[in-house]
Amino acid sequence: MADINLPATLAATREGDIAILRLSRSAKRNALDDETVRGLRRFFMDVPEGVGAVVLHGEGPHFCAGLDLGEVVDQPDSPTNLHKGILHSQMWHRAFHEIQFGRVPVVSVLHGAVVGGGLELAAATHVRVAEHSAYYGLPEGQRGIFLGGGGSVRIPRLIGLPLVQDMMLTGRTLSADEGFAAGISQYLVPSGEGLAKAIALARQAARNAPLTNFAVIHALPRIAEADPATGFLTESLMAAIAETAPEAQQRLREFLEKRAAKITPGG
């Protein structure tokens, strides 16, 4: 994947129809600087053809310790710096939007520190696999700052507003087990097994019809947030588009002719 222009803090490889993107700034616990955030946006805006899903993980013992505070320190209060701060946050918004509403499903591997902007990044992915070493925090309250990467929108929808307020007001951290129970991750595996699990899940997702994956990524979250009447109509339109696609028709015929696997417990 040498044709993708990525900073040194990101590394991408490919295994068939799966792309694996690694945060490669382990000396900084994979803290996100501006160059890395822009690199994330470029990667997800231009996922290579033939890639059906992406796995996102962190190098070293941590997934991501959040914003590199060097990016925002030493900025005196002024209208100019206020404007810069708004634009900085919106730059993160654009990058994470490309993850959440991109072309393919994204599976993240959460281990070690998943805090601040790291948790905001994880919340933009579609499937989250946590290892037992993972822990979650939103230390912005103790740093005198606020969420800026879309976390105030995404994280309460995962775990609820009261828990987010608790974490930000008191500095509470959640263990991997607590995060799993709260809804941060859909899977919890022993330490060291997260990447293999994420790759297996990504391969499953990549086998779906691309139009179905598009509907799950783009239509489903918007339906869930819409008023019921709008949601039902959007669902009807998306269902009609998906089921009449040639690939869907072929898959349906294979199932009816008993040439496709049936759903089984644990499958």
pLDDT by residue (tens digit) across 99-124? 999 999 999 999 999 999 999 999 99
Domain regions of the chain by residue span: 10-206, 210-256
Q: Is the pTM of this model over 0.85?
A: yes
Give the pLDDT confidence of 36-95 residue by residue, as tens digits. Answer: 999 999 999 999 999 999 999 999 999 999 987 766 655 666 677 788 889 999 999 999
pLDDT of 217 over the 70 cut: yes
Active-site residue 140, yes or no? yes
Please give the full DSSP string across 5-25, using - where no structure is assigned: ---TTEEEEEETTEEEEEE--
Q: Choosing from 49, 140, 178, 257, which is the catalytic residue?
A: 140
* Whole-angstrom Cα Rg for the chain: 19
Active-site residue 178, yes or no? no
pLDDT on residue 250: 74
- Could you confirm whether domain 210-256 is CATH 1.10.3470.10? no
Q: Choosing from 49, 98, 120, 193, which is the catalytic residue?
A: 120
CA proximity to 218, closest of 53, 105, 55, 51: 105
pLDDT on residue 8: 95
**Lowest mean pLDDT across 10-24, 38-52, 72-86, 210-224:** 72-86
pLDDT on residue 71: 62
CATH topology of domain 10-206: 2-enoyl-CoA Hydratase; Chain A, domain 1 (3.90.226)
Asked if residue 120 lies in contact with residue 96, where contact means CB atoms within 8 angstroms, the answer is yes
Give the pLDDT confidence of 115-155 residue by residue, as tens digits. Answer: 999 999 999 999 999 999 999 999 988 888 899 999 999 99
